[in-house]
Amino acid sequence: MTDPLVVFTPSGKRGRFAVGTPVLTAARQLGVDLDSVCGGRGICSRCQITPGSGEFAKHGVSVTETALSPWNQVEERYRAKRGLIDGRRLGCQALIQSDVVIDVPPESQVHKQIVRKAASDRPIKMDPATRIYLVDVEQPDMHDPTGDFERLSAALTAQWGVFGTLKCDPLLLPKLQTALRKGAWQVAAAVFDDGTDAPLLIGLWPELPTSNLHGMAIDLGSTTIAAHLCDLATGTVVASGGVMNPQIRFGEDLMSRVSYGMMNPGGAEEMTKAVRDRLNALMSDLMAEAQIDPSLIVEITVVCNPVMHHLLLGIDPVELGQAPFALAQSGALRMAARDLNLDALSSTARAYVLPCIAGHVGADAAAVALAEAPDQSEDLVLVVDVGTNAELLLGNRSRVLACSSPTGPAFEGAQISAGQRAAPGAIERVRIDAETGTPRFQVIGSDLWSDDPGFTDSLPTANITGICGSGIIEAVAELRMAGLLDASGLIGPPQAGGGDRIIAEGRTFSYVLHDARETGGPLIAVTQNDIRAIQLAKSALYAGARLLMDEFGTDTVDRVVLAGAFGAHISPLHALVLGMIPDCALENVHGAGNAAGTGARMALCSRAARRQVELLSRQIDKIETAIAPRFQEHFVAASALPHASDPFPLLRAHTPLPDARFGAGVTPGRRRGQRRVSPKTEQT
């Protein structure tokens, strides 16, 4: 009689096994991706499978109800204690009795695929650097006096195939003997092995911890710090949070922080301490929220721009403030998290800082490239990560280019008269009726429009507090679409439309969005200076994109991805009307959410992603905007709305832009530190 045939789905792997073989054993012998961290002891439940029943014509198998052995005590106990989904069995306990088709559900796969919330929705495979193993260690023997660690190491090799000379983190060593004895020589060991160094023992517990191992993916921005607490077995984000970067008090933008370091002895150290402290506090909050013990947080990955990269690492960023913008280290960094004073985590946690592409194009851009994969795109894609500094990537399978552009903080509501950060109470959406010049808007915290019944009662704050980045972009674009603003960026007089919404302010005009002064609230208006600030920011962005297009030898792009937390909230139509981005079919402009954060999560969950981003960061060609001869020319031409020379035919096909001209009698506002926009080019 031949042995029973076993077919695994979805892999299709098949083989014959003796009656009584555990399903887990069969899976391992066939190389089926079936998880287990307890090594078949019926403890971890990672090896859950679903046996089929009936006819499987495709596989030529007929499965009876008794194809697997009946439930044994271990399985019964597990089901009683922790529960099992109907139809599921523990692969290590169920024994093969006759021909059977066995499905391995995604959550039982080690290298399960997780779908990322990114524009491309490509899934990533779980392949974390740290894994946990339940292992039986030989007891010490006076006649063969090896250390406890040496016997643990031998057991990990024999029972789990942990190869290479395992090392023990010196800070874990003091906990080793207690854990082994408390666990009666069966312990759960966390081994970090990122493929670049010898494997490292970084955790040990007397039994399998009740939670999985976790890691933190950090997106360290100039203005905000975002952290994602991720399950390293499933890839699930169990908690996310963001805080302001405390370095703002040393300077709003990066260059003022560089200056602070130069002007103040010990200033760089001060900024380093501030950001590390805040990171620790943020991570502690997330761990508390998710109720995950810090000892289970064994890894952290960090993406950030070059200045934040240096300040986190304790490096004075002075070199990044001047040509040739030399990074201290451009490659990825691997270290103990404690060497960054990140003591909110396990004391043995490992840190991985993604590589930088260049002195102005940081690990955040590399992370965006990892997440959005322009290098794998068939069509030509422009990826724009909009923040205080904008990072741009342009490319396809043949080549990827990158640059950064100093947009300044106007897109985030700074330098805007009524501007504020995106927070409850801020205007975030604006529509202006072209006939009447009357606005309506939405406020963060409410789903209603300002002309909906009940709007005032739905507000999250007593008063509307200001206008955030996406709000000001929409307001400016709507003013342009309504003919109240001309292509040069001048707000017209009341008689040109808008009526009493238009108020004079010195020799310029402002457009009133909301006036709550009677009830003690603010006047929220778009001023001529606001328009200028937006023009400067969007010109820098567009000019960067144009430089990349020049280098690539193209005048058009196939699609545009707006990355960054802010990019997710920009309306593609309004971005096109403003001329923030090159002309593109509206349906080909997409928000990608926080792609840099996604890249950090990918690097956290996958060693392959780390290898990929290291490769990418070396392959991407960097364009230095600061020394590109045509940058200034592109910048000046991009001041107009949408552009002085680029015709934007795809945009104009669906959105006519009135041809108003309000003359150049008004001197545009100019501020210290901002580039001067030449008045000559302000008229189309």
Chain contacts with a second copy (rule: CB under 8 A): 139-143, 145-150, 165, 167-168, 170-171, 173-174, 176-178, 196-198, 313-316, 318-319, 323-331, 333-335, 339-340, 356-359, 361, 622, 624, 626-627
- Using the minimum distance from each CB to a second copy, give the nearer residue, 156 or 487: 156
- Using the minimum distance from each CB to a second copy, give the nearer residue, 624 or 633: 624
- Using the minimum distance from each CB to a second copy, give the nearer residue, 165 or 291: 165
**Which residue type sits at 156?**
L
- Using the minimum distance from each CB to a second copy, give the nearer residue, 262 or 290: 262
- Using the minimum distance from each CB to a second copy, give the nearer residue, 24 or 279: 279
Pairing state of beta strands 130-136 and 123-125? unpaired
The DSSP result for 307-338, as a single string, is HHHHHHHT--GGGGGSTT---S--S-EEEEGG
Q: How far is the CB of 272 from a second copy (least distance, A)?
A: 9
- Using the minimum distance from each CB to a second copy, give the nearer residue, 343 or 558: 343
Q: Integer distance in angstroms from the first to the last C-alpha of the chain?
A: 87
Residues sharing a CB contact under 8 Å with residue 546, sequence separation 6 or more, in sequence order: 582, 630, 634, 638
- Using the minimum distance from each CB to a second copy, give the nearer residue, 307 or 418: 307
The DSSP result for 380-401, as a single string, is -EEEEE-SSSEEEEEEETTEEE
Sheet-wide strand order for 48-51: 14-16, 5-9, 100-103, 48-51, 89-90
Sheet-wide strand order for 186-192: 130-136, 186-192, 200-205, 167-168
Q: How far is the CB of 327 from a second copy (least distance, A)?
A: 4
Q: How far is the CB of 357 from a second copy (least distance, A)?
A: 7
CA distances from 171 to 205, 336, 347 (A): 14, 11, 7
> With contact defined as beta carbons under 8 Å apart, do 199 and 167 qualify?
yes
**Which residue type sits at 202?**
I
Buried b (16+ CB within 10 A) or exposed e, 103-124: bbeeebbbebebebebbbeeeb
User: Dihedral of CA 98/102/108/110: which sign?
Assistant: positive
Distance (Å, whole) CA 633 – CA 543 = 8
- Using the minimum distance from each CB to a second copy, give the nearer residue, 421 or 622: 622
Sheet-wide strand order for 589-591: 589-591, 559-563, 381-385, 390-396, 399-405, 621-622
For residue 209, which of 302, 308, 134 has the smallest C-alpha distance?
134
Q: How far is the CB of 683 from a second copy (least distance, A)?
A: 35
Provide the token pair at 397: 């399978």
Q: How far is the CB of 197 from a second copy (least distance, A)?
A: 6
- Using the minimum distance from each CB to a second copy, give the nearer residue, 118 or 216: 216
- Using the minimum distance from each CB to a second copy, give the nearer residue, 392 or 422: 392
Q: How far is the CB of 239 from a second copy (least distance, A)?
A: 27
CA distances from 681 to 489, 555, 664, 668 (A): 11, 21, 10, 12
Q: How far is the CB of 403 from a second copy (least distance, A)?
A: 11
The SS3 call for residue 430 is: strand
**Which residue type sits at 504?**
A
Q: How far is the CB of 374 from a second copy (least distance, A)?
A: 19
- Using the minimum distance from each CB to a second copy, give the nearer residue, 195 or 424: 195
Distance (Å, whole) CA 585 – CA 381 = 12
Provide the token pair at 35: 């998880």
- Using the minimum distance from each CB to a second copy, give the nearer residue, 327 or 577: 327
**Which residue type sits at 605?**
C
Q: How far is the CB of 527 from a second copy (least distance, A)?
A: 37
Residues sharing a CB contact under 8 Å with residue 316, sequence separation 6 or more, in sequence order: 261, 268, 310
Q: How far is the CB of 560 from a second copy (least distance, A)?
A: 25
Q: How far is the CB of 19 from a second copy (least distance, A)?
A: 42
CA distances from 320 to 206, 303, 328, 347, 526 (A): 48, 17, 9, 31, 35
Q: How far is the CB of 313 from a second copy (least distance, A)?
A: 6
Q: How far is the CB of 99 from a second copy (least distance, A)?
A: 49
192, HSE (Cβ side, Cα atoms, 13 Å): 28
- Using the minimum distance from each CB to a second copy, give the nearer residue, 157 or 211: 157
Q: How far is the CB of 300 from a second copy (least distance, A)?
A: 13
Q: How far is the CB of 268 from a second copy (least distance, A)?
A: 8
Q: How far is the CB of 334 from a second copy (least distance, A)?
A: 8
- Using the minimum distance from each CB to a second copy, give the nearer residue, 404 or 510: 404
Where are the extended beta strands (E) located within 433-570?
439-443, 466-467, 502-505, 508-515, 523-526, 559-563
- Using the minimum distance from each CB to a second copy, give the nearer residue, 82 or 143: 143
> With contact defined as beta carbons under 8 Å apart, do 329 and 363 qualify?
no
**Which residue type sits at 518?**
E
- Using the minimum distance from each CB to a second copy, give the nearer residue, 333 or 609: 333
> With contact defined as beta carbons under 8 Å apart, do 201 and 190 qualify?
yes
Residues written for the chain: 684
- Say if residue 642 is preceded by a cis peptide, omega within 30 of 0: yes
Reported as type and span, the H/E element at residue 7 is strand 5-9
Pairing state of beta strands 297-304 and 214-220? parallel
